[in-house]
Amino acid sequence: MGRSVDPIKAEVVARFLLATAEEMGATLIRTAFSPNIKERADCSTAVFDAAGEVIALAQRVPIHLGSMVGAVDEIRKRYRERDIHPGDMFIANDPYTGGGTHLPDINVIAPVFMGKRIVAFVANIAHHADVGGMVPGSEAAVCKSIFQEGIRIPPVRIRRDGEVNRDVLELILLNSRTPEERVGDLQAQFAANTVGTRSVLQLFERYGVTATQAAIAAYLDFTEKRFRVAIDRLPKGRYRAEDFLDGNTESEVCRIRLTLTVGKGKLDFDFAGSDPQLESARNIPYRALLATVYTVAKSMLDPEVPANAGYYRTMNIKAPPGCVVGPVPPAAVGCRSISASVLGDVIAAALSQAMPEKALAGCGPHHLYVLSGTDPRTGVYFVNYETLAGGYGARANRDGVDGVRVHASGSSNLPVEALEHAYPFRVERYALWDESGGVGQYRGGAGVVRDYRVLADDVVVSLSSERQHVAAKGMTGGGDGVMGAFMLNPGTAEERKLPAAAADVRLPRGSVFRICTPAGGGYGDPRARKRSAVECDLREERVSSEQARQVYGWGEKA
């Protein structure tokens, strides 16, 4: 901390701002209309200083960080401070004009004024279930251009002096298949920023602008110093890793390559050698790349370091323009979150070489499916955007976590009760996928299986995924995780495996649609697994007696 700043006051200020970000998130979730936000919490909130640096980020969906940072920066570039007024709010979603990382994520940003001076910004981002485009849900791996993915919104004013700009709002609503939901969710975003603005203003009024800004700056400096100490525990050197996304066809793959250089108090991430951008929506825009690097580095080096811009200063991130992690317009980017999970594995694999005692095996990313049609109970058209969690990779000292979002992904699986209430489906199976986790001294986290019985006549589904062709890798003798799958009518004469990526697949009434999400890789020699751990696996039916005997040596004499 700086000499002129009381460290206790700086901590109080930082914790107050973090609580403000959490309060904004609670407001957004509780007032949203769509199940994707009010039930799955597919949203994030943050507080920024006047220069646009992140001060406090609610712990929800890490990949949203890149979206909000880009939007705040772009507003500061586009609008002079004298042209911004109290009560103004700005909206954006376009990754190529500084507004986001994919189009369904809509940012709403508000300045915080003390008198005539902007002292901070509050921002929130919410994943809207449909913003137009070629497929319901506005997200499908088969999209070939961002123009197919929905309405593109550069940073523009959505509220002026506290009043909604109806022209901008109506333009957005006209491009959505479900405009009633969009109105409700946008109003929830406005409410969240109103709550945040009020709280941040109270803080500045209590301590004054000069003292509050000094406390914030000191806390960012403290965060930077703390993370540099964590980096200095790593052996200096250069570490390389790579993994693969699905390519332009079912038989191709796309390489993500990383060279990590650990220096004194700094990390350099260089993605030169990664393959060119794809002709599909699997590309990862640059700000999503930043968010993923920041998240994985934090989780592996110092999970408790404050989530603010202080520790971002310790990292330098480079990607060649036009590569899969640095696409240029008009590349489609809708499925960047699934791809970023594989990117997270690449980052973790490089860091694992520098810190083998905390190594992390490959992970199973969520699968995306967007179900749409007409609800026969109401006659209303619906779009049900869902993602289902996969399994975390094993660590060098513990099993992977079952059924969880990995790396920079977040949000929840949609609860069965909320799903069946809102949409014409019946969930007939919802379980961990037995024996899916990679075997090892520490086993990988299991994927999830979920079955939907279709209860309407005109339902279609769009599918997007990774890890259906390239498994999550095990480490130091551990086995790979089981790959994911989409199935129609499993266990019947009409059983059919669906593509890993597709749009508008028809699901007849009465059919069963199954999602099996990929599992994490295992760590270490399976024969080294503790007998007590194998006994627990058998008792909990995670492994069969046959697998326990053949893989883990169960029943053999010590």
Interval 105-132 mean pLDDT: 96
Instruction: Quote the mean pLDDT of the chain.
Output: 95
Q: Which of 392-401, 471-480, 542-551 has the lowest mean pLDDT?
A: 542-551
pLDDT at res. 408: 85
In 136-252 the beta strands, taken as DSSP E runs, fall at 156-160, 163-164, 237-246
pLDDT at res. 348: 98
Domain boundaries defined on the chain: 7-223, 359-524
Residue 50 burial class via C-beta count within 10 angstroms: exposed 0-12, middle 13-18, buried 19 and up? middle
Residue 2 has pLDDT above 70, yes or no: no
Task: Give residue 555's pLDDT band: very low, low, confident or very high (50, 70, 90).
Answer: confident
Q: Which of 49-63, 119-133, 151-165 has the lowest mean pLDDT?
A: 49-63
- CA 252 to CA 420: how far, in whole Å? 38
This prediction's pTM:
0.95
pLDDT at res. 558: 53
Given a contact cutoff of 8 angstroms between Cβ atoms, the answer to whether 512 and 488 are in contact is: yes
Structure tokens at 483: 């790959």
pLDDT at res. 70: 79
Residue 366 has pLDDT above 60, yes or no: yes
pLDDT at res. 64: 81
- CA 366 to CA 412: how far, in whole Å? 11
Interval 388-403 mean pLDDT: 97
pLDDT at res. 1: 43
Q: What is the pLDDT of residues 487-511, one digit of tens each?
A: 999 999 999 999 999 999 999 999 9
In 117-172 the beta strands, taken as DSSP E runs, fall at 117-127, 156-160, 163-164
Radius of gyration of the chain from Cα atoms? 23
Which residues are CB-contacts of 411 (< 8 A; sequence separation ≥ 6)? 40, 41, 42, 60, 61, 127, 387, 405
Residue 447 has pLDDT above 70, yes or no: yes
